[in-house]
Structure formats: C-alpha cells, structure tokens
Chain A
Amino acid sequence: NAGVMQNPRHLVRRRGQEARLRCSPMKGHSHVYWYRQLPEEGLKFMVYLQKENIIDESGMPKERFSAEFPKEGPSILRIQQVVRGDSAAYFCASSPVAGTLNEQFFGPGTRLTVL
C-alpha cells in the first residue's frame, strides 16, 4: 500500500512565477491536509480538504495561495507570484476518516526554493 506521494520533491522558482505542488493521498484516504515548515520551525497547518470541498483554510495566506482536491486526481497547492518568503518545505498528509482519531500520514514533502 503506497504511502502519501508528493511531487515534485524539489521545486525552484523565480520571484513572480507560479508554483504547483501535488499530493496523492494514501489509498482509501479521502481527507488531505497541507502544512508548511519554515527552517528551524515546526509544521504549520494551511488547509484541510475533502474531495471537491475545502473544509478549513484558516492557515492559508489570504492572497496568492489556493488549494483544491478534485474528484479525480491529486490535491494541488498553488502559489501564484511566489516571493522569497514562500521558500519552505510543504508537506501533505492524509487520513481515512475525520472526526475520530486524528492520526495523519505524511508525504515526503516538496521543498520550494524561490530565487
């Protein structure tokens, strides 16, 4: 049973470009979460999605950031007009059922570098 998959593992963008990060949850998981880790810090929640629905986006910056989890295909975290401060590791996690034990399984992360 494959784990949570994220791609690309490393992404380099110049300021002003767009970054697209992809996440495929574990088989059978319908809940996806995105977290961001800045250097030397813990992971910070960004957004929680179920298929075709955004459940909680309280951790998402109001501008330039968006997320989706379509009926078919991976979840996408999109960052428009990237700035140097967006450089971080972005982790996706998935879980099978919400409302019970909140164990989340994490992917390997995408390391975004903005030049």
Chain B
Amino acid sequence: DQQVKQNSPSLSVQEGRISILNCDYTNSMFDYFLWYKKYPAEGPTFLISISSIKDKNEDGRFTVFLNKSAKHLSLHIVPSQPGDSAVYFCAASARQGAQKLVFGQGTRLTINP
C-alpha cells in the first residue's frame, strides 16, 4: 500500500526553466510534508517542508504547494540549475503517533545545460 506516490520516475528540464515535481498521498492523517534531495551514494538532504495549515511555503528558489482537498503537493524549483540534478523524495508524517516519515519512490531530476 503506497501511501505516498511520485508518479514520475524521471524529469528533464532545461537550465533556467522551472522544474515541477509532483507528489500524491492517500492518508488523510498526514499533516506535515517534506521534500528531500538525494545525490548518489549520499543520504537525503532536507530541502523544504510544509504543514497542513498552509498551502504554500517558499525558501529561495524552492516553493512547495499543498492542495489538501486533492491530497497533492508539488515542489517548484525556479530557476533550475545543473546542481539541482538529483533524486527528489516527497515524504509525509502524521503528528499524532509515530514520528516515522513515509516516502514516495522518488523522481530523478536532470537539468540540461
């Protein structure tokens, strides 16, 4: 049962353009969402998060949008840079109970010069 889904295994974007990564979830108990970036042979690095009481959070080039009614969130990166090429994971958690993060399968983003 995949509670967090990233339906695009890969995405290719031109340098300087906007990258949009999508994530869907099924568990209505999730109320905190995070995006992590991962390079090969390294651990995931936290990028940005959003609480369910918000619908948008922005940090520099990164913006996360949350649509609770659709159970959908997206990460926008603008402008995209070559160093953004990595695998991006969406993760979710519920404040109550366990602190575990539930991860999506990841989207491999490639920024082309």
With A and B bound together, what is the CA distance between A56 and B45 in angstroms? 23
Q: Which of B1-48 contact A (CB under 8 A)?
A: 4, 6, 32, 34, 36, 41-46
**A42-B105, A108-B42 known; A95 vs B99 contact (CB < 8 Å):** yes
Tally A-B pairs: CB < 8 A.
74
Contact of A107 among B4, B43, B98 (CB under 8 A): B43
Q: Is the CB of A106 within 8 A of B44?
A: yes
With A and B bound together, what is the CA distance between A50 and B44 in angstroms? 21
Q: Is the CB of B43 within 8 A of A33?
A: no
Query: Interface extent on A, as a size class?
Result: 20 to 34
Mark the stretch among A12-20, A63-71, A73-81, A96-104 that contacts chain B: A96-104
Q: Is the CB of A31 within 8 A of B45?
A: no
With A and B bound together, what is the CA distance between A35 and B93 in angstroms? 14
Q: How distant is B21 from chain A, measured CB to nearest CB, in Å? A: 13
Q: How distant is A49 from chain B, measured CB to nearest CB, in Å? A: 11
- Residues of chain A whose beta carbon lies under 8 Å from any beta carbon of chain B: 4, 6, 31, 33, 35, 40-45, 48, 55-56, 58-59, 91, 93, 95, 98-99, 101-109, 111
